[in-house]
């Protein structure tokens, strides 16, 4: 079923060009994403822009008045495709366009209203902000809707006029000779840029573009668990299109600053603690600073250097699942390098008590190690 483009703008069939433009400006001013935060406003704004394009293009409006839809792939009320299919070649003129850059028929003027592009901005965050989430304000410099002309591009009280170069068709034609004979080539009008209209008195604020550049501050909600390099999409906060067209999207790319204690691997956090040899041998309890606050960390007696202790659910939240990652604590055992006389004597007594200072014990340990290395090479 064809869209009622007159109804979208709140008009009846036969409305004048002036009524169409006034209705579009009024609705665009109310629905534009920059001034209307309602999630459904962007879709309505796109419908209004499409209705404006359909009713200001003479050929498209003729199809609408015949009960068709000029944007339908089937061709609407403008006739079927004699070659079959709505999205392929529409006839001999389209075939000539494909091979020679233009055919004997014209495509009509294009709308001045076009969709805007996307924008990208970087935001730097600390580790606790990416782990727990935050709301931060970002400043962007993008094209926004001109408030003086609401996208029309004309000075107050004035209107666009038909282009005298192309006669409002949006195209100019030239005849070229080729081995097939004379070929009529069409190209966008250089005066009006293919719109079929010119603006005698451009809007002094936007110089006829329908948009101006402005700096604005936007609050961005950072979800908990976001990782370095991820992008957050803000729909409708990108560049407004020429002629006040719908805005593109704004992408906020997250960059995580290095932390002085923790490193991150997806959902897990890692840190290192250094223990004296005696604490590792006898066992102890440390107070470990985490992102959640101070936590006790039990070191069992006999803990070896290189051991990894796990504090569960002290990592980053999972974005696409429930729960959190873990905090992995890597243990480094520190061997003393300088001993005074008393300390050295104590260690010698310990070695004697453990039988580690006896020559035979040392030789047995050495031979045992050599045997294991030899067996490993012999495949035993």
pLDDT in tens, 141-157: 999 999 999 999 999 99
Count of structural domains within the chain: 1
Other C-beta atoms lying within 10 Å of the C-beta of residue 88: 10
d(C-alpha 45, C-alpha 48), whole Å: 5
Domain assignment present for 315? yes
Domain assignment present for 70? no
Question: Residue 307's domain is classified under what CATH number?
Answer: 2.60.260.20
Report residue 11 as tokens: 């008009």
| Residues placed in the known binding site | 146, 149, 163, 166, 189, 192, 203, 206
**Nearest-10 crossing angle of helices 58-65, 41-56:** 100
d(C-alpha 19, C-alpha 153), whole Å: 17
Residue 180 has a pLDDT of 58
Task: From 117, 192, 118, 186, select the one nearest 153 (Cα to Cα).
Answer: 192
Residue 110 has a pLDDT of 85
Domain assignment present for 288? yes
The strand pairing partners of 49, in sequence order, are: none
| Residues placed in the known binding site for Zn(2+) | 146, 149, 163, 166, 189, 192, 203, 206
Residue 28 has a pLDDT of 80
CA angle 55, 57, 62 (to 5 degrees): 70
Residue 51 has a pLDDT of 87
Burial class (CB in 10 A: 0-12, 13-18, 19+), 325: buried
Number of alpha carbons in the 13 Å side-chain half-sphere of residue 164: 2
pLDDT digits (tens, 9 = 90+) for 222-255: 999 999 999 999 999 999 999 989 999 999 999 9
Return per-residue pLDDT of the chain as tens, 380 residues.
678 888 888 898 888 888 888 888 888 878 776 667 777 777 888 888 888 888 888 888 888 887 778 876 544 444 333 333 333 333 344 434 434 444 444 466 888 888 999 999 999 999 999 999 999 999 999 999 999 999 999 999 999 999 999 888 888 887 776 665 667 778 889 999 898 999 999 999 999 999 999 999 999 999 999 999 999 999 999 999 999 899 999 999 999 999 999 999 999 999 999 999 999 999 999 999 999 999 999 999 999 999 999 999 999 999 888 899 999 999 999 998 888 989 889 889 988 988 887 555 444 454 554 455 455 445 55
Domain assignment present for 300? yes
DSSP letters spanning 276-316:
EHHHHHH-EEEEEEETTEEEEEEE-TTPPTT-EEEETT-SP
d(C-alpha 44, C-alpha 33), whole Å: 10
Q: The pTM is what?
A: 0.61
With contact defined as beta carbons under 8 Å apart, do 324 and 318 qualify?
Answer: yes
Element housing 332 (H / E) = strand 327-334
CA angle 68, 115, 243 (to 5 degrees): 90
Domain assignment present for 311? yes
Report residue 332 as tokens: 């480094």
Q: Phi/psi zone of residue 282: left (φ > 0), alpha (ψ -120 to 50 degrees), beta?
A: alpha
Domain assignment present for 54? no
Residue 79 has a pLDDT of 38
What are residue 153's phi and psi, to 5 degrees? 85, 0
The domain in which residue 345 lies consists of 263-377
Domain assignment present for 301? yes
| Cβ-proximal residues to 297 (8 Å cutoff; 6+ apart), any chain | 273, 285, 286, 287, 288, 309, 311, 329
Domain assignment present for 326? yes
Task: From 238, 160, 250, select the one nearest 196 (Cα to Cα).
Answer: 160
d(C-alpha 330, C-alpha 309), whole Å: 6
């Amino acid at each position: 079923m064809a869209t009622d483009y007159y109804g979208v703008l709140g008009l009846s069939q036969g409305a004048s060009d002036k009524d169409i433009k006034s209705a579009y400006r009024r609705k665009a001013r109310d629905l534009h994403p920059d001034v209307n935060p309602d999630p459904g406003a962007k879709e309505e704004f796109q419908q209004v822009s499409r209705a404006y394009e359909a009713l200001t293009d003479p050929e498209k409006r003729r199809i609408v008045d015949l009960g068709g839809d000029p944007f339908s792939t089937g061709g609407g009320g403008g006739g079927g495709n004699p070659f079959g299919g709505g999205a392929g070649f529409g006839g001999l003129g389209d075939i000539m366009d494909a091979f020679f850059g233009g055919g004997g028929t014209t495509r009509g003027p294009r709308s001045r209203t076009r969709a805007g592009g996307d924008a990208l901005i970087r935001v730097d965050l600390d580790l606790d902000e990416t782990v727990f989430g935050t709301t931060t304000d970002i400043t962007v410099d993008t094209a926004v809707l001109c408030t003086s002309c609401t996208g029309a591009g004309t000075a107050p009280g004035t209107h666009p006029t038909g282009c005298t170069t192309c006669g409002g068709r949006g195209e100019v034609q030239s005849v070229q000779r080729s081995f097939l004979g004379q070929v009529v080539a069409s190209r966008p009008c250089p005066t009006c840029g293919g719109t079929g209209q010119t603006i005698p008195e451009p809007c002094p604020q936007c110089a006829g573009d329908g948009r101006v550049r402005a700096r604005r501050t936007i609050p961005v909600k950072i979800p908990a668990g976001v990782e370095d390099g991820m992008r957050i999409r803000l729909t409708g906060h990108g560049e407004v299109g020429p002629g006040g067209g719908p805005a593109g999207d704004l992408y906020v790319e997250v960059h995580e600053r290095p932390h002085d204690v923790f490193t991150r691997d997806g959902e897990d956090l890692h840190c290192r603690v250094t223990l004296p040899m005696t604490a590792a041998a006898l066992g102890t309890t440390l107070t470990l600073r985490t992102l959640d606050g101070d936590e006790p960390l039990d070191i069992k007696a006999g803990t070896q250097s290189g051991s990894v202790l796990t504090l569960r659910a002290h990592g980053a939240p999972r974005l696409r699942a429930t729960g959190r990652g873990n905090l992995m604590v890597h243990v480094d055992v520190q061997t003393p390098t300088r001993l005074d006389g008393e300390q050295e004597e104590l260690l010698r007594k310990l070695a004697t008590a453990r039988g580690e200072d006896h020559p035979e014990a040392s030789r047995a340990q050495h031979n045992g190690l050599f045997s294991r290395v030899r067996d490993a090479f012999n495949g035993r």
